[in-house]
Structure 1
Amino acid sequence: MKLSLCMIVKNEAKTLPKCLSSVANVVDEMIVLDTGSSDRTPDVAREFGAKVYDFVWCNDFSKARNAALKYVTGDWVLVLDADETLTPAIVPYLKNALTREEYLLVNLVRQEVGAEQSPYSLVSRLFRNHPEIRFERPYHALVDDSVATLLQKEPQWQIGYLEGVAILHAGYQKIAIAQNNKYAKAQATMEGFLATHPHDPYVCSKLGALYVEVGKIEQGMELLKRGIAACQEEYEILYELNYHLGIAYNRLNNPQQAITHYQTAIKLPIYPMLKLGAYNNLGSLLKAAGDLTGAKKIYETALKIDSNFAIGHYNLGMICKAMGLFTEAIACYQKAIKLKPNYAEAYQNLGVVQLKAGNVQGSITAFKNAIILHEQTNPEEAIRLRQGLREMGLV
């Protein structure tokens, strides 16, 4: 089976090499549609052997992606953005999926690099080169709608998914969002789509979440509630709607309603790794409410789902510290630091617990590491921490 990479790009000369390097020995062809770059993006793509085509940008991601699909000659299509990379570990499983005659589309787990609250999502980025599969929606372009229609006409097909992280995405780190003005672009495009699709659960979820993120909480909640009312068995969308309503209620200082929505979210029958954001936020709210035992169970459940969830280990450490379980807390902070070596807060709290446990030298070492890391990102906290150590006679 021949596999084709299919991309749309604009001014991605810096990020594109890493993306294309990750698939260079995996795909049989690279199709890159340039939507108006003013840098070396087309040249970079050609240096990796890609076939590059031009497209006049029309503020519609689906039209651009569908234009790119026209150039694909492979049996299967893998879609990546320039700020994404394919993980080496997933390649054998991906190639095996291509041999499965029953699959029409294979969903892939994507990890948001640096994200703490909701690090994973399931994305429909690997599918057969079928003439009736096309992208729809102007922003967050998806093939899901056309695939659903095709499954009704040709019921012999199935949808599969690969376990384990397949795609690493760096584009939603705060710096990248600010540099590319992503929120403003997304809001304008989705508002245009909402005007003609006012009860579409997906756009209600995405635009509602964006409104909450930028502080338009009441507008966001109205959309999220509208999405829940319109959504039936699209469980991944229902999860997102409830998850973001939890965030909204928490920002309005209504923790009980937030807890209810997070509890609803984690009960939905979706891929467990997608629920980590709800587990994490629910645990924090239970801790704030004084239910340390409940919070501890929540974080332990989250870590059974993903033992590499660094903030989960950190938050479990915070619970154990509050419960006086210092040995457990130390182990949790150490695991968090092993997964995230620049975790200043984990070092700092490790220092606190080491001191409570009587390990003064271990405490000093942890505090020094915390200070070094804080000096890079939070100098005021580094000064405060150093002063605190002096007052305790530890330096």
Structure 2
Amino acid sequence: MVKLSLCAIVKDEEACIGRCLDSVKEVVDEIVILDTGSRDRTVEIARDYGAQIEHYQWNDDFAAARNAALQYVTGDWVLVLDADEILHPEIVPQLQEAIASDRHLAINLVRQEIGAKQSPYSLVSRLFRPLPGIQFSRPYHALIDDSVTEFMAQQPDRWDIGYLSSVAIVHDGYRPEAIAARDKLSRIRKAMERYLSEHPDDAYTCSKLGALYVQNGEIEAGLKLLRKGLKQEKHLDRLLRYELHYHAGIALSKQQKVGKAKSHYEAAIALNILPALKIGAYNNLGNLYMQTGDLTGAIAAYERVWQIDPNLPIAHFNLGLALKEKGKLNEAIAAYHHAIELDPTYAEAYQNIAVILLKNGKVFESLDHFRKAIALYERRDSPAGSELRSTLKEMGFKI
């Protein structure tokens, strides 16, 4: 019987630790929690789930903390989660089958990023055999990949890496409010800058820190790091090459260098990786096609997104935008309705339907959709609601 352990490092996670442990309590044989200084009820809640609690002095190094936690694990396999993550229940049978294999050293898992509309999936190395020598590296975005590569090189015919293609982990920590609440970006930046100063040629950190600079508006600084990483492209795994091209495309798009941005997105899409991981590149490429008036190209890119994930609201919304510009109004409305079916709070979809209906002379139906859009905007405290109300008032409509 294969024994599976859950391992997590935590600090002040009382709001979410219960959901995390609920998702694994019937799956794992052991729960190891490494607390790094909680002042709330995190430890108490974890104990209620039968967790083994250990303590660790936080030193701004996630790899060091994760490796410290691994010392207490006794299972044949370990699943590593953060408190703001849950194990998707539908993946459990596949997970159990995967760890029963004698060949697998590690299993890569698809993680769904809640709040990340453009690129909602990532691949993470969080399920592995806790053998001597398998450990995390890098202070932030810590991962075991480097040690796994070295371990497998010593026994090339013994081990392989597996992956589960369905969503295994649901992550709720990348919503803007979640990041702001913990000042995550500042802590991430400091940790990665320190690591890069010590490892200046580390392409992985170039990718992550470069993307963070671009996100922060420091486009040139970000591009410099991304290009530095891409100079090593021939020696990098496909996922890292994808990330470098993807983020370079974003940076160049912000600089209005459309042709160069397209080239990077196309290079990212051409890589042989899980299609779900390419959604961000397809979305952004479609946006560039829209920007340059290539509606056929935009429609093809957006259609590819919903073919990969038909349950992604923004895929249908973006397709609606392109179809509307193409003059295919009924098809555009249908696409917007698909987006609303998947996300009933999609105010922009209601507004765009309203605009089409108004142009078609369906005033009452249009106003009903405008009202729904305004109500949804106001529910999320968006100024778009009052702006839309004012615009309609100027047009002579009373909402």
Normalization by structure 1: what TM-score? 0.97
User: Is 2:40 aligned against 1:43?
Assistant: no
User: Are the aligned partners of 2:112 and 2:120 in contact in 1 as well (CA < 8 Å)?
Assistant: yes
C-alpha contact (below 8 Å) 2:246/2:268 kept by paired residues: yes
| Secondary structure of the structure 2 residue equivalent to 1:104 | strand
The change in CA–CA distance for 1:327 and 1:29 in structure 2 (over 3 A counts) is same
**Could you give the per-residue CA deviations for residues 326-384 of structure 1, whole angstroms, max 9, x where no partner exists?**
11111110111111111110111111223344544432332221011011224532223
1:277 aligns with 2:285: no
- Structure 2 counterpart of 1:350, which letter? I
Q: Deviations over 1:114-164 (max 9, x none)?
A: 211211100001111222211111111111111111111122211111111
Could you tell me which residue of structure 1 aligns to residue 64 of structure 2? 63
1:77 CA displacement: 0.5
Structure 1 residues 222 and 367, CA, compared in 2 at 3 Å: closer, same or farther?
same
Structure 2 residue ranges without an equivalent (≥5)? none
Aligned partner of residue 71 in structure 1, secondary structure: coil
The 2-side partners of 1:366 and 1:264 are apart by: 40
Whole-angstrom distance in 1 between the partners of 2:184 and 2:46: 23
Residue aligning to 1:128: 129
AA partner of residue 200 (structure 1)? D
SS of 1:123 mapped into structure 2: strand
**Identical positions, percent:** 52
Give the Cα–Cα distance (whole angstroms) in 2 for the partners of residues 220 and 51 of structure 1: 42
1:86 aligns with 2:87: yes
Alignment match, 1:161? 163
Contact 2:165–2:274 (CA under 8 A) maintained in structure 1: no
Q: Relative to 1, partners in 2 of residues 1:380 and 1:146: Cα closer, same or farther, differing over 3 Å?
A: closer
**In the alignment, what sits opposite 2:229?**
227
Within the candidate set 304, 308, 314, 1:305 is matched to 308
Q: For 2:357, which of 347, 354, 363 is the aligned residue?
A: 354
Moved runs in structure 1, 4+ residues, more than 6 A?
Answer: none
Secondary structure in 2 matching 1:7:
strand
After TM superposition, give the deviation of residue 245 of structure 1 in Å: 0.8
Quick one: which of 328, 331, 343 aligns to 2:334? 331
| CA–CA separation in structure 2 for the residues paired with 1:364 and 1:21 | 44
Look up the SS of the partner of 1:308 in the other structure: coil
Query: What does residue 201 of structure 1 align with?
Result: 203
Structure 2 equivalent of residue 363 of structure 1: 366
Aligned-pair Cα RMSD in Å:
1.4
TM-score (normalizing by structure 2) = 0.96
- For 1:112 and 1:379, locate their aligned partners in 2 and report how far apart those are by CA, in whole Å: 23
Secondary structure of the corresponding residue to residue 53 of structure 1: strand
* Superposed CA offset, 1:53-78 (max 9, x none): 00111221111111111111111100
Match of 1:267 in 2: 270
Q: Distance in 1 between matches of 2:316 and 2:104?
A: 37
Counterparts of 1:185-264 in structure 2, within 5 Å, are 185-231=187-233, 232-264=235-267
Q: What are the Cα deviations for residues 249-269 of structure 1, in whole angstroms up to 9, with x where unaligned?
A: 111122221111111111111
> How far apart, CA to CA, are the structure 1 residues paired with 2:101 and 2:331?
45
| Map of 1:17 onto structure 2 | 18
Which stretch of structure 1 is more off in the superposition, 166-175 or 348-357?
348-357
Aligned to 1:173: 175
- SS state at 2:134 partner: coil
Tell me the distance in 1 between the aligned counterparts of 2:46 and 2:121: 28
Give me the whole-angstrom Cα distance separating, in 1, the residues matched to 2:124 and 2:182: 22
What is aligned with 2:117? 116
8 Å CA contact 1:200–1:230 kept in 2: the answer is no
Q: 2:319 aligns with which of 307, 316, 322?
A: 316
Relative to 1, partners in 2 of residues 1:35 and 1:393: Cα closer, same or farther, differing over 3 Å? closer
CA distance in 1, matches of 2:347, 2:10: 36
